[in-house]
Structure 1
Amino acid sequence: MTRAVIFGTALLLAGCGEAAPRPAVLPAPVARPIPTNGLERVMGQSAAELTRTFGTPDADVREGNARKLQFKGPICVLDTYLYPSKSGGESTVTYLDTRQPDGSPIDRASCVAALARRGGGK
């Protein structure tokens, strides 16, 4: 009988503890549009339009239906990513990335403006 009392007391005490906390339910991430202010010369442009604006690309990389054109200057490096439209039209820039020649970050619009000032050539 003593064992039953000890066991019953242990069960009662175990029930007095705090319930395990429920894991927090996080909302689904919301896709935030990337600001394009100052990037009108690049976003939505074709490879031919980019070449007219920035000159001959320093790199032209194709992977599947995607294409990356890279333009370098003394101030920054601009990587433009072109993809075909859903309707199968000409590939245009849908994303871009910028950095200083040493890899440090730089404002995207500032880089585009600096490279455009090259006058379409090096």
Structure 2
Amino acid sequence: MRKPGSSIRRSAAFFVMSGLTTACVPSVAEQAPAPAAPVVAAPIPANYGGLGTVIGRTAETLERAFGRPDLDVREGNARKLQFSSSLCVLDTYLYPPGGRGEPVVTHVDARRPDGSDFDRASCVAALGQAR
């Protein structure tokens, strides 16, 4: 047999415990806002006046844009073409896509004639104007 009032105490304990657990959960208004979607930059079109005029281009295309290279080094199926002006030196590295076909520019380095850093896109623009 149950003691008188024991079910009331159990009910009261249940409600107190329920109140304590809900006190630990923040309300919807207190929750942190969802993180914003990341901002993704639009791709630079290939005809952009910077590196897009060089990356992916063939040696013939580079020569039309910048004239004869000052240096033409071949090693296996890779090639390095160097173009320079009084402002900068541009090294272009050409490799065949997938190891086959005509080599195209995959990487570009730029520097001042004294060896200090120079912006690659600015060097491409300067060499294009110097021609």
Normalised by the length of structure 1, the TM-score is 0.65
Describe how 1:71-82 pairs up with structure 2 within 5 A.
71-82=83-94
Q: Which has the higher contact order (CA 8 A, sep 6+)?
A: 1
Once superposed, what is the RMSD of the aligned Cα atoms? 1.8
The aligned amino acid for 1:82 is L
Q: Give the gaps of 5 or more residues in structure 1.
A: 1-35
- Residue 66 of structure 1 is matched in structure 2 by 78
Cα deviation 1:39-58 (Å, max 9, x = unaligned): 01110000000000000000
Q: What SS does the corresponding residue of 1:44 show, helix, strand or coil? A: coil
For the pair shown, which has the larger CA radius of gyration, 1 or 2?
Answer: 2
- Residue 89 of structure 1 is matched in structure 2 by 101
Provide the identity percentage: 61
Q: Cα 1:91–1:74, aligned 2, differ >3 Å: closer, same or farther?
A: same
- Which residue, 41, 44, 54 being the options, matches 2:66? 54
Q: Give the gaps of 5 or more residues in structure 2.
A: 1-43
Determine the C-alpha separation between the residues in 2 that align with 1:116 and 1:105.
Answer: 19
Normalised by the length of structure 2, the TM-score is 0.61
Q: CA deviation at 1:87?
A: 6.2
Determine the C-alpha separation between the residues in 1 that align with 2:99 and 2:119.
Answer: 32
Q: CA deviation at 1:65?
A: 1.2
Determine the C-alpha separation between the residues in 2 that align with 1:87 and 1:106.
Answer: 30
Name the structure where helix makes up a greater proportion of residues. 2
Where do 4+ consecutive residues of structure 1 move more than 2 Å? none
- Which residue, 96, 115, 122 being the options, matches 1:110? 122
